């Protein structure tokens, strides 16, 4: 079978041991096949009571720890995980299924295929509910935004991102959507000079908050939001639309 990157992955007939190297995918599997999940990264925070072996981070997984878990399947993502780590796991004989998700529609299609083809199970009910929630188009007035993801140096969401697509579906257009880079470094003075209607401040990867971030944008409306609602593709999508709409109102 071919994963989202076009790589051929030999999936066993039965999948009962899964290691996830992506927080969104960890939450997705935990909500669908909880007994199959045996390993996850230190950054996999949902569900909060997740009790599996931790294999370090998304960018520096403990490859030997993953191998020791003897998974039938390893789940990864083209953006969140490093190609050398994926190739090393494959070289060790482990089937690694890599997702590539840059839009909501891609998320729904990719996750449905991941569960059906890689996890050997049906499409979960929560995924159908999430697709239904996001099916209705936005019809209100549109606004502009910058979306910082880091400071020192300041970095923002640029082109072709899941975050940008989520906001666009809520009537908020990313001013840097046309930038050549996906996560460009932009001087703070330039961000303020762009005069966006909103400065959207997710709490990950940098932990922006009510007291860390808004002070840098005097005179602009700053909206701290949960990064999980804005950047995760999984069960959070069921409630993300309503919660983000309330925050952005």
- Residues, the chain, total? 249
Last residue of a domain, one of 89, 105, 132: 132
Check residue 194 and give its pLDDT.
Answer: 96
Residues 204 and 153 in one domain: yes
Q: Are 94 and 67 contacting, i.e. CB atoms less than 8 angstroms apart?
A: yes
Residues 90 and 124 in one domain: yes
With b for 16 or more beta-carbon neighbours within 10 A and e for fewer, the 159-198 pattern comes to: bebbbbbbbbbbebebbbbebeeebeebeeeebbebebbb
Residues 156 and 78 in one domain: no
pLDDT in tens, 149-172: 999 999 999 999 999 999 999 999
Domain tally, the chain:
2
User: Mean pLDDT throughout 48-55?
Assistant: 97
Per the domain annotation, does 182 fall within a domain? yes
CA distance 249 to 244: 8
Q: pTM of whole model > 0.75? A: yes
CA distance 155 to 165: 18
CA distance 106 to 38: 26
Residues 99 and 190 in one domain: no
Structure token digits, residue 87: 């190739």
Per the domain annotation, does 13 fall within a domain? no
Residues 33 and 114 in one domain: yes
Residues 182 and 101 in one domain: no
Collapsing DSSP states into helix, strand and coil, what is residue 14?
Answer: coil
pLDDT in tens, 86-144: 999 999 999 999 999 999 999 999 999 999 999 999 999 999 999 999 999 999 999 99
Per the domain annotation, does 7 fall within a domain? no
Domain of residue 147, residue span:
143-248
Residues 147 and 128 in one domain: no
User: Mean pLDDT throughout 214-224?
Assistant: 98
Residues 157 and 127 in one domain: no
Q: What confidence category does residue 226 fall into, taking pLDDT thresholds of 50, 70 and 90?
A: very high
Indicate the average pLDDT of the chain.
Answer: 97
C-alpha angle 43/48/53, rounded to 5°?
55
Check residue 223 and give its pLDDT.
Answer: 98
Residues 193 and 243 in one domain: yes
Residue whose C-alpha is closest to residue 172's, from 201, 196, 197, 143 = 143
| CATH classification of the domain holding 164 | 3.40.50.1980
């Amino acid at each position: 079978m071919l994963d989202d990157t076009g790589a051929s992955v030999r999936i066993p007939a039965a999948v009962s041991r899964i290691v996830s190297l992506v927080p969104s995918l960890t939450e997705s599997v935990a909500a669908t096949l909880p007994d199959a999940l045996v390993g996850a990264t230190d950054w996999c925070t949902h569900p909060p009571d997740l009790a599996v072996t931790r294999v370090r981070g998304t960018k520096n997984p403990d490859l030997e720890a993953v191998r020791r878990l003897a998974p039938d399947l390893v789940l990864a993502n083209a953006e969140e995980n490093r190609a050398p780590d994926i190739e090393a796991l494959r070289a060790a004989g482990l089937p690694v299924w890599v997702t590539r998700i840059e839009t909501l529609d891609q998320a729904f299609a990719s996750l449905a295929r991941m569960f059906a083809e890689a996890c050997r199970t049906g499409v979960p009910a929560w995924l159908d509910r999430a697709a239904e929630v996001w099916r209705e188009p936005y019809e209100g007035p549109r606004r502009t935004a910058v979306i910082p993801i880091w400071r020192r140096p300041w970095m923002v969401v640029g082109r072709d991102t899941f975050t940008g697509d989520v906001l666009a579906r809520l009537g908020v257009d990313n001013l840097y959507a046309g930038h050549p880079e996906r996560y460009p470094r932009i001087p703070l003075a330039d961000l303020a000079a762009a005069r966006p209607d909103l400065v959207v401040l997710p709490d990950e990867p940098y932990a922006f908050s009510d007291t860390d971030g808004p002070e840098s944008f005097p005179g602009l409306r700053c909206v701290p939001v949960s990064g999980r609602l804005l950047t995760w593709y999984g069960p959070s999508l069921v409630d993300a639309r309503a919660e983000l709409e309330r925050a952005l109102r």
